[in-house]
């Protein structure tokens, strides 16, 4: 999970200038590189979801089963992490939207974490974070849809992303739904 954050951030920073200078070929290259990252991280996430309980039980013992469940929820964050939209927003000089989105994401995280803790316990905090990160990406997609000159299909592989998202959710449910 930390590695995905580092690589996504580095990827985002490296691509802003490319997108600004040559938008058409830059978008095609951006989409290709995003797909490559997706393959690696989605496969790692699927493997992690399927075997988290076993790995945690071997490494830490059965007492850490709740930790495996929290880990499983946090692995779902990779879904939103691989929607690398900040460079697209920055390349189109829509940076002024990033602060309101970040502030509202924080509010969503706190509210959902607070609401989910009574029913889900500490796992509710993890779900609050997953919901908040997803909210952030939805907001960015909306901004890009209405304020950008680019179509979502130019920079994002919807079928690939949808496929891996469904597979990850199924793997999570198979591994952690009781």
- pLDDT tens track for 131-143: 999 999 999 999 9
pLDDT at 164: 93
- pLDDT tens track for 22-80: 667 778 888 888 888 888 889 999 998 999 888 888 888 888 888 888 999 999 999 98
pLDDT at 91: 84
pLDDT at 47: 92
Q: Are the C-beta atoms of residues 87 and 35 closer than 8 Å to each other?
A: no
**Confidence (pTM):** 0.86
- pLDDT tens track for 94-117: 999 999 999 999 999 999 999 999
pLDDT band at 92 (very low <50, low <70, confident <90, very high): confident
CA distance 100 to 98: 6
pLDDT at 81: 87
When computed from its CA atoms, the radius of gyration of the chain, rounded to whole angstroms, is 17
pLDDT at 131: 97
Phi-psi region of 77 (alpha: psi -120 to 50; beta: other; left: phi over 0): alpha
């Amino acid at each position: 999970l930390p590695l995905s954050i580092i690589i996504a951030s580095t990827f985002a920073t490296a691509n802003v200038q490319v997108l600004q200078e040559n938008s058409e070929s830059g978008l095609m290259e951006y989409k290709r590189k995003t797909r490559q990252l997706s393959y690696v991280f989605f496969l790692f996430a699927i493997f992690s979801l399927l075997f988290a309980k076993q790995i945690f039980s071997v490494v830490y013992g059965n007492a850490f089963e709740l930790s495996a469940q929290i880990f499983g929820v946090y692995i779902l964050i990779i879904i939103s992490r691989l929607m690398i939209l900040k460079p697209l927003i920055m390349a189109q000089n829509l940076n002024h939207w990033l602060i309101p989105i970040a502030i509202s994401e924080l509010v969503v995280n706190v509210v959902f974490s607070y609401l989910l803790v009574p029913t889900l316990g500490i796992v509710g905090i993890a779900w609050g974070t997953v919901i908040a990160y997803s909210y952030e990406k939805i907001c960015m997609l909306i901004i890009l849809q209405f304020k950008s000159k680019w179509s979502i299909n130019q920079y994002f592989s919807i079928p690939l992303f949808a496929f891996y998202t469904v597979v990850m959710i199924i793997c999570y449910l198979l591994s952690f739904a009781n």
